[in-house]
Amino acid sequence: MYDFRTMALPEFEYQPLGPREIRIIDLHPGEPGDDLMVSISSAPLHSGQHVAVSYVWGSEERPHRINAAYATKIKGVGGDPNRFTTRVATHPTSFLRITENLRSLLVNIRRKELYISLWIDAISINQADTTEKTAQVKMMREIYYSATQTVLYIGEADDESPSAFRTIEILHMMKDWPDEKLPLNLREVAHLQGPDDTPRQPQPEDYAAENPWRPFINLFNRPWFTRTWIVQEIVLSPRGLLACGPDLLLPWDTLVAACQVIRRSKIAELDNQRPKISLALWMEPLRQFWKTSRSRPISAISADANKTASQRHILTVLKHVRNYDATDFRDKIFALHGFTTHGAALGLEVDYSVSLTELYTRVAMAYSTCTSTTQPLAFLSLVDQSYYVPDLPSWVADWRRPWRVNPIALKTATPPIRGASRWEGTKRTAVRFPSLTKPVSLPLRVSIPGCRAVVIRAVDEVKCPDWEARSHAAEINRFPEPYPTTHLSYDEAFVRAVNPRAPVDYQLEGHPRQDTFWGFKAGLARGKRRDRPVYRADIERSARTGVVHLITVFSEEVGNCIPLVKNEGDVRGETEPRYTQSQLYEKLPFHYGLQGSLPEQEDEVLNRNWFISEDGFMGLVPQLARKEDVVVHLFGGVPLYVLREKEDGVWGFLGEAFVYGLMDGEVEFDMDEGRVENFVIE
C-alpha cells in the first residue's frame, strides 16, 4: 500500500450532486496498520451498488485523517450510454477529516483484498451544505431501502462480546420451541446446543460466572442501541448485519428471534434482569411491513398498510424514540420521515433551516391536530420540565430529554382516572396557538380556556427511603375529616392520592359523595361543617349487616366507637385520629420506601411529588411544583395541570397533576360560568 502520510494533501472538496444522486464511498482494501483510503463517486439513487452503514457518530471532533480521491466514472457499460461503472483511484489527491468512531468502523470492516462500496452519511453527505443535507435526508428511505444490506456497527469488541453473540445465537435456535420447553433461566441456555436439546459442555469463557446475563445486557447498553437514526436504518434495510469489531457478525433477524424467545420464556423476569430488548420488539411490525412490501402486489401492501397505519404514524413512533439520542436534536423528528406517515402533512417535513424552537413547537401543534376529537390537550401530557428550558415555551415538550414521568393522559382506561374533562368539556376546547412567523422567537404563547381548581399548600417527596422524616402526616393532621367530597378518612385517601392504580373495592368504598366539588368549595366559604368520615371498620360492618345508614366511626386513638357528628371547626377535631408517617406508609406498596424500583411499579408516582391543597385535596404534581402554584382544569384535558403565574395574566406550564376526587369530571359538574377564564401560557 501507498504511504502518503508525509505528503501535503489538500482537504477534500465536495462537488455538487445531481438530482436523485448519492455519493458512494469505495473503501480500499488494506492490512491492519495501513492508512485508510477511499474513492468517492456519485451514482443514481437506485443503482443498487452500495452497502449502507449504521454507527454511532459520537463526538463531533474529527481528529483523524483518511486519504481520499474521486473515482473515475466510465460510461457506456454493456453498450448502454446510460449505464456506467467506476474505477477507483490509484492514489490520494486529498484528505478527509473523520471522527474516532468512524475510523473504528472503517478499520474493522475493511478487508485485505476486497473493495467495499459504502454509503456513510458523515462522508456521503456534505455536512456543511444545509441544502444538500436537507435533500439527502429526504431520500434516506430510498437510500436504505435500495442498499444491498446495512452494516449495523455497534463498536469495538470486548472480552464479553463473544459470549453475548453466542447467547443470542443459542436463543435464536429456540425460536420454534413450544413455550413449555423454553428455559427457565439463562444458565440453562449455556448447556443447550440446538433445538434437539443436545447438551454440550459450557466453556469457561461463555458466560460471566457471577451473572450469565452480564455480557448480554452490556451488549444492549452500548450507545448504538440508543440512536434515533437506527430505527430507520433497521426498518428500511433489506438485510441488517450486526457487526462488533472485525469478526463478530450476526443477522438482525437472529437478534429479533432471540429477543422474542426471551419475551415468551420470561427468563428475564425469572432471573430478575432487565435487558433492553424492547427496541428490537416494537420495531418488528414496521420492519416486516417494509420488508414484505418489496415482493407483494400493491393490493396486499395497501391492506397491510391500513393495519399498521397507527404504528407508522410519525407521532406514534416519536413517543417510542423519546429516550434515544441524536447529534442534531432536530433529527429526533427528521430521522423518522423515511418510514413513517403524516410528517409533511403536519408541517414536520425535513428542513434544516428550521430552528429547534420552531420544530418542537410544530410537534406540539401537530399532536393537538391529531387528537382534537379525543384528547385535544394530549400535547401537554408530553411536557416534562420544560419550564426552565430557555429555548422552548413551557407548554412544548423537549424531545431532547428522556421520559421521566408516565403521562397520566395516556393511562385512562381504569378508574379513578376517567378524565377531568367529560364530553361536554372536550367540546368546549378552544386552543389558540401562536403564529409561527419567521424568524420564530420567544415568547410563544398558547391560550386555553378552563378554571382554577385548587392552590397548592405544601409539597413533599412520596417515594423516598427517608419517608419517616417527611411531612405528609403533619400536613394532613391540619384538616378535619373526612377527605373533601368523600366519605374516606384521610389515611385511606392518602393511599388513593399517591397510588392512583390501587384497586378500589366499590362494594366497600362506593358510597355517594357528600358534596360536589363546587358545593364543597362554597361550603368552605360559608363555614360549612363536614360530617365525620365512615371508617373502614364501619364500612366492613355495613357489608356484613346490610345496614346502609352508619352512625358511628371507630377511632384507634380512643379505642371505641364515636357517634357520627359534624366537625365543629376548620381544623382536625380533638376526637379525630392524628396520623403518623408509619400509619400512612404501611398502607402503601413496599417500594414507596425505596430509593429505586422498576418504573412500571411506580406508574404515576414516578418522578412526581405528593401535594396537599389549601382546602385539603391531595394528589401528585411535577417535582417542579411548589407552594402557591395553581392546579387548573383546562377544557379537554384528561388530567388536571399545574401552572405558575409569571406575570399578570401570563402563566408558565409545569406539568400534569393527579388530584384524588377530581379526575372524573367533578370540576365541570355544576360549575359557575363566571369561573371560566382563558389561561395564556408561555
pLDDT per position as a tens digit, 386-428: 999 999 999 999 999 988 888 887 654 444 456 777 766 677 8
Q: Is 60 exposed, middle or buried (0-12, 13-18, 19+ CB in 10 A)?
A: exposed
DSSP 409: G
Kindly report which listed range (47-61, 191-205, 283-297, 310-324) carries the lowest average pLDDT score: 191-205
**Segment among 183-192, 299-308, 365-374 with least mean pLDDT:** 299-308
For residues 431 and 679, what is the distance between their CA atoms, to the nearest angstrom?
Answer: 10
Q: What percent of the chain shows pLDDT beyond 70?
A: 79
Identify whether the C-beta of residue 37 lies closer than 8 Å to the C-beta of residue 66: yes
Q: Reply yes or no on whether the pLDDT at 536 is more than 60.
A: no
C-alpha cell at 623: 417535582
CA gap 576, 532 in Å, rounded = 9
Q: Which among 193, 637, 109, 153 has a CA at the least distance from the CA of 425?
A: 637
Of the given ranges (228-232, 372-376, 474-478), which has the lowest mean pLDDT? 372-376
Q: Choose among 634, 664, 639: nearest CA to 408.
A: 639
- At residue 551, the pLDDT reads 38
**Does 523 have pLDDT greater than 90?**
no
Q: What pLDDT band is residue 371 in, cutting at 50, 70 and 90?
A: confident
- CB-facing half-sphere around the CA of 513: CA atoms within 13 A: 15
Element of type H or E holding 307: helix 298-307
Instruction: Kindly state the average pLDDT of the residues 260-275.
Output: 80
Give the Cα separation of 334 and 138 in Å (integer). 9
Residue recorded with cell 387528537: 371
Task: Give the span between the Cα atoms of 592 and 586, in whole angstroms.
Answer: 10
How far apart, in whole angstroms, are the C-alpha atoms of residue 547 and residue 549? 6
Rounded Cα–Cα distance for residues 25 and 88 (Å): 10
Q: Encode pLDDT of 44-87 as tens digits.
A: 888 777 899 999 988 888 889 999 888 876 554 445 555 556 67
Q: Give residue 597's pLDDT band: very low, low, confident or very high (50, 70, 90).
A: low
Q: Average pLDDT in the 495-508 region?
A: 75
The kind and range of the H/E element at 591 are: none
Cα 70 → chain centroid: 43
pLDDT of amino acid 558: 41
Neighbours of 433 (CB within 10 A): 18
Q: State pLDDT tens for residues 98-121.
A: 999 999 999 999 988 888 999 999
Q: Torsion-angle region of residue 374: left (phi > 0), alpha (psi -120 to 50) or beta? A: alpha
Is the pLDDT higher at 631 or at 232?
Answer: 631
Residue 563 banded pLDDT, cuts 50, 70, 90 = very low
Mean pLDDT of the residues in the chain: 82
User: Is 201's pLDDT higher than 60?
Assistant: no
Q: What is the pTM of this model?
A: 0.83
The predicted model gives 623-647 an average pLDDT of 95
Closest CA to 538 of 455, 611, 481: 481
Any idea which of 383-397, 512-526, 660-674 has the lowest mean pLDDT? 512-526
Q: What is the rounded distance in angstroms from the CA atom of residue 475 to the CA atom of residue 457?
A: 9
**Residue 335 and residue 328: Cα distance in Å, rounded?**
10
**Residue 76, C-beta contacts closer than 8 angstroms, at least 6 positions apart:** 83, 84
Q: Return the closest-CA partner of residue 681 out of 634, 638, 639, 637.
A: 634
pLDDT, position 90? 75
Widest CA span in the chain:
104
**Phi and psi, residue 619, nearest 5°:** 170, -155
Whether pLDDT at 620 is above 70: yes
